[in-house]
């Protein structure tokens, strides 16, 4: 009952992941492949956090 208004941490991470993937797409289209690699690495870290949260 007390967890009724609690935000889902997986949902928050999923939104962050989607935002990073959109950012990565835009960076790739601009031609900056080094920055694209950095953004993709950040997205992968968020994905790992999502997977870890699902296991718990």
Give the model confidence (pLDDT) of 21-51 as tens digits. Answer: 999 999 999 999 999 999 999 999 999 999 9
Select from 9, 42, 47 the least CA-distant residue to 23: 42
Asked if the structure places residue 49 within a domain, the reply is: yes
Asked if the structure places residue 15 within a domain, the reply is: yes
Q: Which residues contact 47 (CB under 8 A, 6 or more apart)?
A: 17
Name the one residue in this structure whose structure tokens are 């009952």. Answer: 1
Asked if the structure places residue 2 within a domain, the reply is: no
Q: What is the number of domains present in the chain?
A: 1
Domain holding 36, by residue range, is: 9-55
Q: Which residues contact 27 (CB under 8 A, 6 or more apart)?
A: 35, 36, 39
d(C-alpha 10, C-alpha 51), whole Å: 9
Residue 10 pLDDT level (bands cut at 50, 70, 90): very high
């Amino acid at each position: 009952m007390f967890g009724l208004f609690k935000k889902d941490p997986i949902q928050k991470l999923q939104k962050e992941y989607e935002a990073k993937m959109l950012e990565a797409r835009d960076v790739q289209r601009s031609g900056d492949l080094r920055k694209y690699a950095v953004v993709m690495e950040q997205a992968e870290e968020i994905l790992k956090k999502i997977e870890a949260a699902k296991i718990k």
